Amino acid sequence: MDRTDRPNSFPWPPVLYGVAILCAIALQQVVPLSHGMDVARIGGALHVVGWILLLVGAGFDISAMVTMARARANILPHRAATSLVESGPFAISRNPIYLGNTVMMVGAGLAFGNLWLIVTGLFAALVVLKLAIEREERHLEALFGPAWLAYRSRVRRWIGRH
pLDDT level of residue 37 (50, 70, 90 thresholds): low
For residues 14-35, give the mean pLDDT: 93
The pLDDT of residue 40 is above 50: yes
Q: Give the integer Cα–Cα distance in Å for 7 and 39.
A: 45
According to DSSP, residue 113 is labeled T
b/e 56-68 (16+ beta carbons within 10 angstroms → b) = bbeebbebbbebb
Give pLDDT, residue 162: 86
The pLDDT of residue 147 is above 70: yes
Is residue 82 domain-resident?
Answer: yes
Q: Give the integer Cα–Cα distance in Å for 143 and 128.
A: 21
The pLDDT of residue 3 is above 70: no
Is residue 3 domain-resident?
Answer: no
> In degrees, to the nearest 5, what angle opens at C-alpha 90 toward C-alphas 55 and 106?
35
Is residue 160 domain-resident?
Answer: no
For the chain, how many structural domains are there in total? 1
Higher per-residue pLDDT: 137 or 35: 137
Is residue 7 domain-resident?
Answer: no
CATH, residue 39: 1.20.120.1630
Domain that includes residue 84, residue range: 12-154
Residues 6+ away with beta carbon under 8 Å from 19: 124
pTM (2 d.p.): 0.91
Is residue 2 domain-resident?
Answer: no
CA 13 to each of CA 16, 30, 40, 41, 93: distance values in angstroms, whole numbers, following the listed order: 5, 26, 36, 36, 16
- Average pLDDT, rounded, for the chain: 92
Q: Give the integer Cα–Cα distance in Å for 154 and 123.
A: 26
Query: For residue range 20-30, what is the model confidence (pLDDT) as tens digits?
Result: 999 999 999 99
Is residue 78 domain-resident?
Answer: yes
Instruction: Please count the residues of the chain.
Output: 162
The pLDDT of residue 80 is above 50: yes
The pLDDT of residue 1 is above 50: no
Q: Give the integer Cα–Cα distance in Å for 24 and 27.
A: 5
For residues 5-31, give the mean pLDDT: 93
Is residue 81 domain-resident?
Answer: yes
For residues 30-41, give the mean pLDDT: 70
Q: Give the integer Cα–Cα distance in Å for 114 and 16.
A: 18
